[in-house]
Amino acid sequence: MKTRAAVAFQAGKPLEIVEVDLQGPQPGEVLVEIMATGVCHTDAFTLSGDDPEGAFPAILGHEGAGIVREVGAGVTSLKPGDHVIPLYTAECRNCKFCLNPKTNLCQAVRATQGQGLMPDGTSRFSLDGKPILHYMGCSTFSNFTVLPEISLAKIREDAPFDLACYIGCGVTTGVGVVAFDAKVEPGSNVVVFGLGGIGLNVIQGAKMVGANKIIGIDINPSKVEIAKQFGMTDFINPKEVENVVDAIIEATDGGADYSFECIGNVNTMRQALECCHKGWGESYIIGVAGAGQEISTRPFQLVTGRVWRGTAFGGARGRTDVPKVVDWFMDGKINIKDLITHKMPLQDINKAFDLMHSGESIRSVVEF
Ligand code: NAD
Ligand code: DAO
Ligand code: ZN
């Protein structure tokens, strides 16, 4: 079949809207009509050429929601008409990783996914007979896309696509790290570094589980209003205090119970660890630092009980946990609407990248 897609032909160049060829689902695969997709920093990172795994031409996008249109042989958990969210972290429920309760990093399709290919080592997309690569196993910047069955979470049908798509990355990453990874207890003091699309979701996750103080850290004071709306109780601008770590320790009677780095900066990662309470404070790295960068701290920070951890996709096991996050949203426990600051049709998708780079948007959503 033919499908409209925004193709990244080259690093650093705008996406081009073209009709591409899409081969139908092979055994174990599913054809999905994407109804809406968010545009995330990771798409921009890959498009910029800085992503060591980035390869072109490719159809980017990994934060979508849509409807199953066809299933390949052997697919048992999905049928045409089902509403789904694509998963950039699959959940096969069978690999060594899925069988270990300590991780959500299913490896069943990891190797081929990283090469922009389906599990059989080929691409379903092509143009003029030449293959176009998939991206993060999702390629949601295409009206129709093909994914492995294990890379799709079935969701309830009353969830609106234009908001639910954000659950495919940003919402689950932020809310999930609080609920699934850190398991933040009610009454905890929480510190969130970076009040962007991820940090605001950490804040609303912390509010949802009943945190006490939720302290936001950002160098951009324009984020304060929306962060307060999502549950931030205190704000510290590092530019306005002598030492941000000392300011947090003072505001929390000794340090954070939990801190979350949602920037991708190795200096703020260190601050996030060192602002944790002696004896038990846990710091989670969510932000992705540039290739080759390294973190450091004095080992005595760990000897004295602080814990440094990292997380991908909020620790969520996609097929199991994404439907739960959709329920939280539909039950009014989390707010997505106010984080979607811009919407546009596919032909204007490059504007979403401009809005992101200028800091004007929290999340742009493309509707097909
Ligand atoms: P964003 O750009 O929307 O937000 C970043 C915020 O950090 C901004 O508000 C900015 O003003 C603030 N900031 C920048 N430098 C700062 C500094 N030195 N001190 C304090 N604040 C500072 O980004 P986002 O979409 O929220 O993504 C955040 C990070 O999370 C990115 O690195 C992204 O790649 C990563 N991410 C990780 C996962 C995961 O699963 N681990 C998933 C999605 C995104
Ligand atoms: O190596 O098993 C693996 C999967 C790694 C996925 C890590 C994702 C980290 C976050 C990147 C940004 C997500 C949009
Ligand atoms: Zn697995």
* DSSP assignment letter at 180: I
Q: Quick one: 201 and 52 in the same domain?
A: no
Per-residue tokens: 188: 């905890």
Q: Quick one: 152 and 187 in the same domain?
A: no
- Residue 353: what pLDDT? 98
| CA 114 – CA 193 distance, rounded (Å) | 29
pLDDT tens-digit readout, 102-159:
999 999 999 999 999 999 999 999 999 999 999 999 999 999 999 999 999 999 999 9
Amino acid at 310: G
- Residue 365: what pLDDT? 98
For the chain, where are the alpha helices, taking DSSP H only?
Answer: 41-48, 110-114, 161-164, 170-176, 199-208, 224-229, 244-251, 266-274, 300-303, 318-330, 349-357
Contacts of 17 (CB under 8 A, 6+ apart): 4, 5, 6, 7, 346, 347, 349
Residue labelled with tokens 């979607």: 340
Residue 246 lies in a domain: yes
- Residue 45 in contact with ligand 2 by CB distance below 6 A: no
Gyration radius from the chain CA atoms? 20
What phi and psi values does residue 81 have, to the nearest 5 degrees? 100, -20
**CA–centroid distance, residue 108 to ligand 3 (Å):** 5
- Residue 290: what pLDDT? 87
Contact (Cβ atoms closer than 8 angstroms) between residue 78 and residue 30:
yes
Q: What is the mean pLDDT of residues 350-366?
A: 96
By CB neighbour count within 10 A (0-12 exposed, 13-18 middle, 19+ buried), where does 81 fall? Answer: exposed
Residue 318 lies in a domain: no
Among candidate residues 350, 299, 288, 339, the one with its CA nearest the CA of residue 45: 288
Contacts of 16 (CB under 8 A, 6+ apart): 6, 7, 9
Q: Tell me, what CATH number does 258's domain have?
A: 3.40.50.720
Q: Quick one: 75 and 28 in the same domain?
A: yes
Q: Quick one: 199 and 73 in the same domain?
A: no
Q: Quick one: 147 and 234 in the same domain?
A: no
Q: Quick one: 64 and 194 in the same domain?
A: no
Q: How many domains does the chain have?
A: 2
pLDDT tens-digit readout, 249-277:
999 999 999 999 999 999 999 999 999 99
Q: Quick one: 9 and 149 in the same domain?
A: yes
Q: Quick one: 28 and 92 in the same domain?
A: yes
Q: Tell me, what CATH number does 78's domain have?
A: 3.90.180.10
**CA–centroid distance, residue 144 to ligand 1 (Å):** 29
Residue 108 lies in a domain: yes
pLDDT tens-digit readout, 166-222:
999 999 999 999 999 999 999 999 999 999 999 999 999 999 999 999 999 999 999
**pLDDT band of 224, cuts 50, 70, 90:** very high
User: DSSP string spanning 301-322?
Assistant: HHHTT-EEEE-SGGG--HHHHH
Residue 319 lies in a domain: no
Residues annotated as part of the active site: 40-42, 62-63, 92, 95, 98, 106, 110, 169, 363
Among candidate residues 279, 277, 259, 258, the one with its CA nearest the CA of residue 269: 259
Q: Quick one: 70 and 126 in the same domain?
A: yes
Length of the chain: 368
Residue 97 lies in a domain: yes
Mutate to test the pocket of ligand 2, among 39, 62, 105 (most ligand atoms within 8 A of CB): 105
- Residue 42 in contact with ligand 2 by CB distance below 6 A: yes
Per-residue tokens: 287: 């932000």
Among candidate residues 357, 367, 368, the one with its CA nearest the CA of residue 40: 357
Contact (Cβ atoms closer than 8 angstroms) between residue 283 and residue 255:
no
What phi and psi values does residue 193 have, to the nearest 5 degrees? -90, 115
Protein residue with its CA nearest to atom 10 in ligand 2: 312
Residue 328 lies in a domain: no
The DSSP element (H or E) to which 39 belongs, if any, is: strand 29-39
Q: Quick one: 180 and 263 in the same domain?
A: yes
Range of the domain at 100: 2-168+336-367
| CA 125 – CA 132 distance, rounded (Å) | 5
Q: In what order do the strands lie in the sheet with 130-132?
A: 2-7, 16-22, 125-127, 130-132
Q: Is the pLDDT reported for residue 248 higher than 90?
A: yes
Q: Quick one: 46 and 154 in the same domain?
A: yes
Residue 101 lies in a domain: yes
- Residue 67 in contact with ligand 2 by CB distance below 6 A: no
Q: Is the pLDDT reported for residue 91 higher than 90?
A: yes
Contact (Cβ atoms closer than 8 angstroms) between residue 239 and residue 215:
no
Contact (Cβ atoms closer than 8 angstroms) between residue 244 and residue 265:
no
Q: Quick one: 193 and 125 in the same domain?
A: no
- The ipTM (two decimal places) reads 0.98
Contact (Cβ atoms closer than 8 angstroms) between residue 276 and residue 255:
yes
pLDDT tens-digit readout, 332-354:
999 999 999 999 999 999 999 99
Residue 120 lies in a domain: yes
User: DSSP string spanning 262-275?
Assistant: -S--HHHHHHHHHT
Mutate to test the pocket of ligand 1, among 178, 226, 288 (most ligand atoms within 8 A of CB): 288
